[in-house]
Amino acid sequence: MKPQHDTALAAALWAQEDKLKPCVHCGFCLPACPTYTRLGDENDSPRGRLYLMGAVVEGRLSPDSDAFQTHIDRCLGCRACEPVCPSGVEYGVLLEAARESIFRARKTPAMVGMLLAVFSSRRWTSWSMRLARVVRGLGMAGRAARLMPANRFFHPIRFGLAMLDASRERQFPVASPSGFAAPDGSADGSAGDGSSEAGLPDAGSSDDPSSDGAARWREGSRGRVAILRGCVQAGLFARVNDATERVLRANGYEVVEVSGQGCCGALHTHAGDAAEARELARANVQILGSAQVDFIAVNAAGCGAALKEYGHLLEADEEYKQTAADLAASTRDISELLTGDTLQAGDSLRVGAPLPARVTYDAACHLCHAQGLREEPRVLLEAIPELVVLPLQDEEECCGGAGIYGVTHAELGGQIGADKVSAVLATGAEIVATGNPGCMMQIGAGLLLEGSDVIACHPVELLDESYRRAGFYDGP
Partner 1 sequence: MENILPEPLTKELGDRLRGVVGDSWVIVDADRLLAYESDGLTAYRRTPRAVVLPRTTDEVSRVLSILSQEGVPVVPRGAGTGLSGGALADGDAVVVGTARMTDMLALDPANRLARVQPGMINVDLTKAAEPFGLYYAPDPSSQSACTLGGNIAENSGGPHCLKYGVTSRYVTGLTVVTYDGKIVEMGGFGRESGGYDLLGVFVGSEGCFGIATEIEVRLLPKPEGVRTLLAIFDRLGDAGSAVTEIMAEGLLPAALEIIDGPTIRAVEASVFAAGFPTDAEAALVVEFDGIEAGLEADVERAVARCREAGAREVRTADSEEERLALWQGRKKAFGAMGQIASDLLVQDATVPRSQLTDVLERISEIGVRHDLTIANVFHAGDGNLHPNLLFDRSDPEEVARVERASTEIMAVCVEAGGTITGEHGVGLDKRRYMSLVHGPDELDAMRRIKAVFDPLGRMNPGKVLPDAPDSAGAAT
Binding site for ligand SF4 (CB under 6 A): 23-29, 32-35, 46-47, 49-50, 75-81, 85, 87, 89, 91
Piece in contact with partner 1 (CB under 8 A), picked from 32-40, 94-102, 193-201, 402-410: 32-40
Q: How far is the CB of 71 from ligand SF4 (least distance, A)?
A: 9
Q: How far apart are CA 117 and CA 120, in angstroms?
A: 5
Q: How far is the CB of 89 from partner 1 (least distance, A)?
A: 7
Q: Is 36 in the site for partner 1 (CB under 8 A)?
A: yes
Give the nearer residue to partner 1 in terms of CB position, either 48 or 194.
Answer: 48
- The residue within the footprint of partner 1, chosen from 12, 89, 228, 301 (CB under 8 A), is 89
Q: How far is the CB of 104 from partner 1 (least distance, A)?
A: 19
Q: How far apart are CA 42 and CA 353, in angstroms?
A: 50
- The amino acid at 153: F
Tell me which residues in 165-224 interact with partner 1 (CB under 8 A). Answer: none
User: Nearest CA to 235 among 136, 308, 156?
Assistant: 136
Alpha helices in 16-121 (DSSP H): 17-20, 34-39, 46-57, 66-73, 91-105, 110-120
Q: Is 42 in the site for partner 1 (CB under 8 A)?
A: yes
- The residue within the footprint of partner 1, chosen from 9, 10, 68, 437 (CB under 8 A), is 68
Q: Is 353 in the site for partner 1 (CB under 8 A)?
A: no
Angle formed at CA 441 by CA 397 and CA 170, multiple of 5 degrees: 125
Piece in contact with partner 1 (CB under 8 A), picked from 54-62, 259-267, 347-355, 397-405: 54-62
Cα 280 vs. chain centroid, distance in angstroms? 19
Q: How far apart are CA 171 and CA 91, in angstroms?
A: 40
Q: How far is the CB of 47 from ligand SF4 (least distance, A)?
A: 4
- The listed partner (ligand SF4, partner 1, none) that binds 91, CB under 5 to 8 Å by sort, is ligand SF4
Task: Yes or no: say if 302 and 92 are a contact pair by the CB < 8 Å rule.
Answer: no
- The listed partner (partner 1, ligand SF4, none) that binds 80, CB under 5 to 8 Å by sort, is ligand SF4
Within 8 A by CB and 6+ apart from 426, the residues are 393
Question: Left, alpha or beta for 192 (phi > 0: left; psi -120 to 50: alpha)?
Answer: left
Q: Is 27 in the site for partner 1 (CB under 8 A)?
A: yes
- The residue within the footprint of partner 1, chosen from 8, 15, 26, 426 (CB under 8 A), is 26
Q: How far is the CB of 259 from ligand SF4 (least distance, A)?
A: 35
Q: Is 95 in the site for partner 1 (CB under 8 A)?
A: no
Compute how many other C-beta atoms are within 10 angstroms of the C-beta atom of residue 188. Answer: 20
- The residue within the footprint of partner 1, chosen from 7, 15, 31, 171 (CB under 8 A), is 31
Task: Yes or no: say if 384 and 414 are a contact pair by the CB < 8 Å rule.
Answer: no
Q: How far apart are CA 231 and CA 75, in angstroms?
A: 24
Helices 110-120 & 122-137 angle (0-180, nearest 10): 110
Q: How far apart are CA 16 and CA 68, in angstroms?
A: 17
Q: How far is the CB of 433 from ligand SF4 (least distance, A)?
A: 22
Q: How many angstroms separate the Cα of 302 from the Cα of each of 8, 267, 459?
A: 29, 9, 15
Give the nearer residue to ligand SF4 in terms of CB position, either 303 or 327.
Answer: 303
Q: Is 52 in the site for partner 1 (CB under 8 A)?
A: yes
Give the nearer residue to partner 1 in terms of CB position, either 21 or 106.
Answer: 21
- The listed partner (partner 1, ligand SF4, none) that binds 77, CB under 5 to 8 Å by sort, is ligand SF4
Residues in contact with partner 1 by CB under 8 A are 21-31, 36-37, 39-43, 45, 47-48, 51-52, 55, 60-61, 65-68, 71, 83-89
